[in-house]
């Protein structure tokens, strides 16, 4: 029988608390020792839901290695800044100033007296091709970790949102899923929930909808670029920090008039006439942005349970930005459960073997 363990956790790049919620949902017992982030808005949201006690608004690289050693943390959870690796960013990798803190952690890891037994790292697809990933692998191998690297989308867990992310699971001692294949397979697609379960407001006449409706100027300029989904859809695009402010490649748009299927048709004789026709058609669809709570729910935050909310003073734009920088709680909770459960089982097995007079060899190698 697996022994229970009370894990000591350091949460790096804590944002709005995604890793905190993921650890809670993993079913493991533990304590968040410190949560590090320098984003004021994100820290306000974190404090609103988890309190200020463990928050540390400090540059990670400004904290001496001795401090991290003194914590004697079992687990490091981290989601470093993704801008150096994203396809819409500069792809400067480790040359980007925003990678400095991550490189610092990788530098001190092999030098620590009390390094963590487990590390979970999340980042955008693209990180696996960066030089930062090379630094990660070098640090893990140099410090005696075995590790697995994964590319996972929430669609594999039945969540109707595309958010392909790189994960590295490491413990002391390439699998890219095809999203289109998941949805084209009748049996697999049925396991993905429809979006209607995540929709907060369904009546276009609801006064609260006004701030989320797409303005006419945006409909005309970007209507052809929208990724439009309905309540019955089993997929939505990845929501980024630019959602609600920018249109292209920032997330899906919800069609409230789900029974309609409108096409532009043949182009009119002149641009003004064509634009007027297109606008009239688009208006009938009742197009709107997903609300911040709907996005949060798609990302696994416990909104309905009343365990996650935003401070009233957090602006709508800020809410979307911090969500876009966060993790999918549901996906990471499963990964934490897998990482820590398999390790504690191994610890129990080795303890039993040792008590039986065996001395199993302990090997550490990369996957």
- Provide the annotated active-site residues: 82
User: Count of CB atoms within 10 A of residue 189's CB?
Assistant: 15
Strands (E), the chain: 6-12, 29-36, 55-56, 75-78, 118-124, 145-152, 165-172, 228-229, 253-255, 287-289
The C-alpha atoms of residue 327 and residue 301 are separated, in whole angstroms, by 9
Backbone angles phi and psi of 122, in degrees to 5? -125, 140
State the number of CA atoms in the 13 A half-sphere of 24 facing the CB: 13
The C-alpha atoms of residue 226 and residue 99 are separated, in whole angstroms, by 32
DSSP 8-state code for residue 246: B
Residue with tokens 């942005």: 289
Cα–Cα distances (Å) from 230 to 34, 54, 181, 208, in that order, read 41, 40, 20, 19
Classify 145 as helix, strand or coil. Answer: strand
Q: In the chain, what is the straight-line distance between the N-terminal and C-terminal CA atoms, in Å?
A: 27
Hey, CA dihedral for 321, 324, 329, 332, is it positive or negative? negative
DSSP 34-68: EEE---HHHHHHHHHHH-STTEE-S-GGGS-HHHH
Adjacency order of strands within the sheet including 253-255: 228-229, 253-255, 287-289
How wide is the angle at C-alpha 45 spanned by C-alphas 95 and 203, nearest 5°? 110
The b/e string for 67-102 (b: 16+ C-beta within 10 A; e otherwise) is: ebeeeebbbbbbbbbbbbbbeebeeebbebeebebb
DSSP 8-state code for residue 239: P
């Amino acid at each position: 029988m697996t022994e229970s363990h009370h894990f000591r956790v350091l949460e790096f790049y804590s944002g709005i608390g995604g890793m905190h919620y993921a650890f809670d949902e993993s079913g493991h017992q533990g304590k968040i020792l410190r949560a590090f982030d320098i984003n004021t808005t994100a820290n306000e949201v974190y404090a609103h839901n988890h309190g200020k006690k463990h928050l540390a608004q400090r540059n990670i690289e400004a904290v001496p290695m001795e401090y991290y050693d003194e914590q004697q943390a079992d687990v490091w959870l981290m989601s470093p800044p993704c801008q150096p690796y994203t396809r819409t960013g500069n792809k400067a990798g480790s040359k980007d100033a925003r990678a400095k803190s991550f490189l610092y952690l990788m530098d001190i890891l092999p030098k620590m007296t009390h390094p963590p037994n487990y590390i979970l790292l999340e980042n955008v697809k693209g990180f696996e091709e960066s030089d930062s990933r090379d630094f990660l692998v070098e640090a893990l191998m140099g410090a005696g970790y075995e590790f697995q690297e994964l590319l996972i989308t929430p669609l594999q867990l039945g969540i109707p949102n595309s958010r392909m992310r790189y994960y590295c699971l490491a413990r002391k001692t390439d699998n890219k899923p095809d999203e289109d294949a998941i949805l084209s397979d009748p049996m697999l697609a049925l396991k993905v929930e429809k979006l209607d379960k995540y929709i907060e407001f369904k009546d276009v006449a609801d006064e609260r909808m006004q701030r989320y409706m797409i303005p006419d100027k945006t409909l005309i300029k970007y209507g052809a670029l929208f990724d439009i989904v309905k309540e019955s859809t089993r997929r939505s695009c990845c929501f980024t920090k630019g959602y609600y402010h920018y249109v292209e490649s920032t997330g899906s748009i919800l069609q409230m008039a789900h029974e309609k299927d409108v096409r532009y048709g043949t182009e009119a004789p002149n641009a003004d006439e064509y634009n007027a026709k297109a606008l009239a058609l688009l208006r009938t669809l009742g197009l709107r942005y997903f609300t911040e709570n709907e996005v949060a729910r798609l990302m696994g935050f416990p909104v309905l349970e009343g365990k996650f909310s935003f401070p009233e003073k957090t602006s709508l734009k800020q809410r979307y930005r911090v969500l876009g920088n966060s993790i999918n709680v549901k996906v990471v909770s499963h990964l934490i459960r897998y990482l820590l459960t398999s390790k504690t089982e191994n610890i129990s097995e080795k303890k039993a073997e040792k008590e039986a007079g065996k001395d199993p060899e302990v090997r550490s190698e990369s996957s």
